[in-house]
Structure 1
Amino acid sequence: MQIDITTNEALAEICASAENQPFITLDTEFIRERTYYPVLALIQVSWPGQGPLLIDPLKVTDWDPFHVLLKNTDIVKVLHSSRQDLEIFYNQMGSIPQPIFDTQIAASMCGLGDQISYAALISKTLGIQLRKGDSFTNWLQRPLTDAQIRYAQDDVRYLPDAYDKLVALAKSQGRLNWIREETAAQLTNDLFNPDPAGLWRKVKKVGQLKEKDLVVLQGLAIWRDQKARELDKPLRFVLSDEVMVELAKMDKLTLDQLKSRRGIHPKFVQRHGESLQETHARARDLPRSQWPKLKESKNRGPSDKAEALADLAWILIKEIAHKANMAPANIILKRDLAPFIDATLSGKDTTKFAISHGWRKEMVGSLLVSLMEGRMIIKVESQHITWEELT
C-alpha cells in the first residue's frame, strides 16, 4: 500500500476534482515532540463518492491549489476534534479553513456525548467498529507500513457518512444552526495567535510567586515563547516551567547565577544568557502599575438573591440539559450563573455572558427571565423536575 498523492501535479488534480463538492473531510498526522511547530507528516482527505486519499507533505511543494480549496467558502470542511489539524493549516496559510464542521462539537450538541472520540462517533452514527491502531507512531518514516496507511485512511473513510448522519440528526432536533454558531465561536484564528502578555498564566506553579515576581515571569514567558518560535523548539527545551519560576523569584539575574542553575545547559547561557538577563532586568524595573495580577480584583459579589436564584436556575438548567442529552456546562458554567443573574437583576450589561446570545439564549434564556421575574413554578412530578411559566 502506498501514499496516493506525492507530486504537485497529482495534488492539483484532486483539488480540481473536489472544487464542486458540497463538503470535504480532512485529517492530518504530525509529529511535534521536539519542535515548537507541528511537523506535518500526512494529510487525509475524502468527499462523497471519493474514498480516502493520502497526501504526502514530504514530497509535495506547491500547496496553492490545496489552500484555494481550503479557503473556498462554498465547501464545508469536515473534521473531528479539529483544533490541532486547524493549527497545521493556520501555520501554512495564516488563517484557518472556512466554513468548518467539527463532528465532535456537533456530536455533543446532538446529545451523542461530550468530547466523543472518533471511534465512538463512527460506532454511534454508523454502527461500525473501527480497528484498533497505534496512533503514536512515526508518521515521518517512509515508506509507511500497511497498518499505518489503513489507520490513516480510516480517519476519513467514514467521515462523509457520519457527517450526513449528524446533519440529519441536527436538522431533526432543530440544532444545525446551533452547531454552526458554536463551531464558529470555538474555532477562530485567535486560537493560534494568543496574547503574549497572558502566556505566563500557563506556567506551572505560578501560584508560588509573589505579586512583584509575576511581572518578571510575564517577561520571561514572552521571551521564552519568542525564542522557542525562533529555534523551532518546544518551550520546555528553552526553559522549563520550574526554572522559569525560580528565575522569576530572583531580584537580580547574573550570568554566573544562570551558569550555576540546574536545568540550564552552559551552551544555552553562552548563546542566550545576556538576552535573558536583559529581559529579567527590564521586567524587574517595571512600575507596580504594570504588574499583572494572578487574580483580577473583584467587585462586589453576586447578591444573596442572585445566589439563591442561581441555585434554583441550576436545577432548571440541569433538567433542560438532561432532556437534550447535553452537559449543563456546555450551556453555562455554574460559577457564571450567579454573576449573570445578578447583572440581569441589576440592569447591567450581560453581553459578556455566552448565555445572552444565540442558541444558549434560545434554549434557556426566556425560561431564566421568567424565573427571575417570578413567573415560573418548578416542581417534582413522578420523580422528574417540571416547570410551568405563568402568564
Structure 2
Amino acid sequence: MPASAPEPETVGPDPTPGGPVPLIAPREGTPAPLETPAELADAVARFAAGTGPVALDAERASGYRYSQRAYLVQLRRAGAGTVLIDPLPLADLRSLDEAIAEAEWVLHAASQDLPCLAELGLRPRRLFDTELAARLAGFERVGLAALTEQLLGFTLEKHHSAADWSSRPLPESWLTYAALDVELLVELRDALAAELERQGKHEWAAEEFAALVRWGAQPPRQRADPWRRTSGIHRVRGARAQARVRSMWYARDAIAARRDSAPGRVLPDAAIIAAAELDPKDERTLLTLPGFGGRSVRRLARTWLEALNEARQLPDTALPVSPPVEGPPPPHRWAERDPVAAARLARCREVVTGIAAAHTLPPENLIAPDSVRRLAWTPPEEISIATVAEVLRGYGAREWQLALLVADLTAALAEPA
C-alpha cells in the first residue's frame, strides 16, 4: 500500500500463531448440485426464510465454451446454508430471484458474474462487491483468497478457477472449491464494510455499488466490428489483408458458435493473422503456417481457404474502412496534434494521481481514465466548477468522485497554457 495510506485493520478472527488456517471444506459439508424443479423449489423456500445478505458466485467455462453462460451457481445465506445449482437442466432461476429480491447480494468482482446471472433471471436490487470495496479501502491485493486470508485468517485454494465448468459430472473437489467461494463471503463483506466505515468511505462504496446494479440491469452492448480485436491485427497492413482477417474471423466464429466452443480452440488468433499476411492459395501452403498443424484445424482447411478466397474476390468498395474515431486520439499523439491539450491532460492526470494517493485509492477507481482524457481534449467552453461537473457527470462520474475532483480539475483546466 502507499506509504501515506492508513493500514487496513484486520477484522474477524485473528490468524493462529502458526499462520492462516486453510479452509478445506464447507462447514455443513459439500452439497450436491440441485438439478430438478423440486430441488430448486426447496432451495427457494429455504432462502426466502433465511436472513441477512446472500452470498453469490457463478462458474463459467471461459476458454472452453463459446458463450459466457453460468455452468454452476453458488449461494449461501444465514438460516439457509449453502446451495449449488446446476442451471443446465433448469429453465431459469426467476423464482429464486423473487425469493431474495429484497436482500443485499454479496459478490466478488460482480461485473464478471452479473451478465451470466442475468441470463438466468438473477438481477440484484442491492449488492456489495467485495473486490471493489477492497479497492476503495486501499488494499493492494484484492483477490478473494488474498482478502480472506488478510481479513479473516483463512486461506482458500484457487486452483480450479480456470477449470472447464461445463463438463459433467463435476468432480467432488471442484464442488468443494465452488462452495468455499461463498463460505465466508458475507463475513468478508462485514469486515470490508467496517474498514470502509473506519476510513469514511462507506458512502462512496454505496454509490459505486448502486452504479453496478444499474449497469447489470442493462442489456449487453454488441461490439461493432469484433474482428478488429483479433490479437496481432496491428501487424496486418492494408484493407485487403484486413478483409482476410475479417473473413476468417467470421468463419471461425460461426463454427465456434455451432460447436459451443471457445473460438481460440477452433483456430488461434495467431493462425488468422499468419494467413491474412501470407494469403495462401492452396491447402499445402496453408497447412505450413503457424497454428494450422492441429488435426481439427486441418480438417477445416477448405473452410479457411474459402474464407480467404471470399476476401480475395471482394470489390474495393467492400473492403474494411477505418472506423470513425470516437473521442480523443491516443495520448501519445497529443503533443504533436495539440500541445495545449497535452499540457491540460498532464495537469489533470497530476490532479487525479495526487488526490487518489491522498485518499488511498487506485486512480482508475477515483475516475475513469477515459473521462479525464475526454475532459482534457474537449473542455467546456466556459470552464467552471459547474460546467466541469456537468461534463464528468455525463461521462458517468459519481457524486463522491465529483466532490473530490471537480475543484482541482477546474483549476487545472483553467491554468494558462
- CA 1:187–1:362 in structure 2 vs 1: closer, same or farther (change >3 Å)? farther
Q: Which residue of 2 aligns with 1:111?
A: 138
State how 1:169-248 maps to structure 2 within 5 Å: 169-170=195-196, 172-173=200-201, 174-184=203-213, 187=216, 194-197=222-225, 199-212=226-239, 213-248=241-276
Q: Partners in 1 of 2:86 and 2:368 — Cα distance?
A: 42
Task: Work out which of the residue numbers 389, 410, 416 in structure 2 matches 1:369.
Answer: 410
Give, as a single letter, the amino acid of the residue that structure 1 aligns with 2:311: H
Whether the aligned pair in 2 keeps the contact of 1:42 and 1:57 (CA below 8 Å) is: yes
Hey, what's the Cα distance between the residues in 2 that align with 1:268 and 1:88? Answer: 31
- Counterpart Cα distance in 1 of 2:289 and 2:156: 49
Match of 2:154, SS state, is coil
**The one of 152, 157, 160 aligned to 1:132:** 157
Aligned position for 2:186: 160
**Are the structure 2 counterparts of residues 247 and 122 from structure 1 closer, same or farther at C-alpha, using a change threshold of 3 Å?**
same
Shift of 1:134: 3.2
Of structures 1 and 2, the one with the larger relative CO (CA 8 A, separation 6+) is 2
Q: Which residue of structure 1 aligns with residue 73 of structure 2?
A: 43
Q: Secondary structure at the match of 2:149?
A: helix
Q: Distance in 2 between matches of 1:236 and 1:318?
A: 38
Matched, 1:329 2:358: no
Does the Cα contact within 8 Å between 1:25 and 1:156 map onto a contact in 2? yes
Displacement after TM superposition at 1:232 (Å) = 1.1
Offset at residue 118 of structure 1 (A) = 0.4
Count of matched residue positions in the alignment of Structure 1 and Structure 2: 364
Which ranges of structure 1 fall in alignment gaps of 5 or more residues? 376-391
Contact 1:317–1:364 (CA under 8 A) maintained in structure 2: yes
Deviation string 1:75-102 (CA, Å, 9 cap, x unpaired) is 3332112344345435545x86555432
Q: Which residue does 1:276 correspond to in 2?
A: 307
1:283-298 to structure 2, matched below 5 A, reads 284-285=314-315, 287=317, 290-292=320-322, 298=329
Counterpart code for 1:269: A
**Cα distance in 2 for residues equivalent to 1:120 and 1:85:** 19
Deviations 1:5-52 (A, max 9, x none): 454312211112323656321123344554323685543211234332
Displacement of 1:155 in angstroms is 1.0
Correspondence list, 1:306-385, <5 A: 306-332=341-367, 337=372, 339-344=374-379, 346-347=381-382, 350=391, 354=395, 358-373=399-414
Q: TM-score if structure 2 supplies the norm length? A: 0.70
Q: CA deviation at 1:336?
A: 6.1
Structure 1 residues 170, 231: closer, same or farther in 2, change over 3 A?
Answer: same
State the partner residue of 2:44: 15
Matched position secondary structure for 2:379:
helix
CA distance in 1: counterparts of 2:56 and 2:402, whole angstroms: 32
Distance in 2, Cα, partners of 1:256 & 1:352: 57
Query: Structure 1 vs Structure 2: percent identity of aligned residues?
Result: 19
TM-score, normalised on structure 1?
Answer: 0.74
RMSD: 4.0
CA contact (8 A) 1:110 1:175 kept: no
Deviation at 1:275, TM superposition (A): 5.8
TM-aligned CA distance change 1:104 to 1:216, over 3 Å: same
